[in-house]
Chain A
Amino acid sequence: MVVAAGLEKKFGQFTAVDKISFKVNKGEIFGLLGENGAGKTTTLRMLSTMLKPTSGNAVLNGFDTQNEPEKVRANIGILFGGETGLYDRLTAAENIAYFGELNGMSKAAIRERSQHLAEAFGMQDFMDKRASKLSKGMKQKAAFARSIVHNPEIMLFDEPTSGLDVTASRDVQDFILDCKAEGKTIIFSSHSMSEVEKLCDRIGIIHKGKLVECGSVEELKKKYGNDDLEEIFVRLAGVR
């Protein structure tokens, strides 16, 4: 479970995230929907302890981001959009093992988990190939495996389909649904209405750092009397 309570982040005079609060239950997919620069990435960075909140706090799986950042990080997996962020000179297996080791896994546990993930993602043929030699699709699978090698309870996805083609986006979406099926708590940021609508149990609309609305897609549609999520978003964000 993830609980964000009054999370605020200021960069000098600029408020990137303005005291937002939300709760994500175990096994739930929560979508953070907003335009570029709305504060989605900053929120995810605070949740993953990369950034310290100016005020407020978040608790992930019972661990406080302010006081127990190491334990928080041990409980999260993260996947970014665009580049997969693999080390080109390491093999797929080494990339996965490195993150396993950093997250406190034993060598035997890493070996076992890597085998399992290689089978799950169909990576057996290229586990020992350097990342630089892998195709985009192979890299993506390796990045999926790396993000969950330590079997985290919580997954954070920061615009994971950004810049991807249809097939690759589909793979990411399937991966997110697989994580949900495994009972993981998922926070997913996106500016794609259709994607959010398709994947999320609940969404939070974030605009200029403020969480302007929060609820399930159905609840929002009902509340605003509109079947088009995009219309609701535009109305709430005051765009146009």
Chain B
Amino acid sequence: MADLQLQDIIKPENRVYGKSKVLTDKPMHYCYGCSHGVVNKLIAEVIEEMGIQDKTVGVSPVGCAVFMYDYIDVDFMEAAHGKAPAVATGYKRTNPDKYVFTYQGDGDLAAIGTGETFHAVNRGENIVMIFINNAIYGMTGGQMAPTTMLGQVTATTPYGRDVDLNGYPLKITELLAQLPGAAYVTRQSVHTPANVRKCKKAIRKAFENSAKKIGTSFVEVVSTCNSGWKIDPVASNKWMEENMFPFYPLGDLKDSERLDIEQYKVQKLKK
């Protein structure tokens, strides 16, 4: 053992982890401590491992991840704010053999795009929807999101989110899990190595589902936005665990095959 040199250990066959070939070399613009970078990386890894780079098209959002096409090396469509599920629907319906994924933040998916989100899932579009829930509008400077917690201070709730003024935090993922078109609905996080691995499994399952044509697969990632929250990354993880997880608990909300609809069919209307 004494003769074993460092160069002998650093060999391709001994490598346990590396950068995905589907990730570009461009340095990410995301803030230190932000969850976007990790989730972008996981998507790239899943696409590479499934060997579907030439069959995958992404829909990038309006928000901090607007330039995610700079990092994930697949074809992309840049959607208007909130419209990614509609864009993905139009693409997938006319290109049923492609893998299509959307990637949206809480404002995009659960405020301005609520209608498109609900109806895409309710139709059971065979797409992957990734939902980054960091309880704030990151890119526009930290305003209240539909998922902002009660009492949480943001640029537009400077005294904390108040129910009488702002209503309640929206558990949109729970609502979507009720829809028959949803095949797989899960809530994940990426704040520890174990959670990163679980989240990757969930994303992989979502991509695999979309080829099975059993309905929509929806992956929420409860995320941090230390810039928007104005606390450091470590404190952000702690705040998320203590404040967000009790309200947005992690785990699968739904994992099903296609719903048997025969029982719900009605008789034809007769005059």
Do A and B come from the same complex?
A: no
Show the binding face of A for B, using Cβ within 8 Å: none
Show the binding face of B for A, using Cβ within 8 Å: none
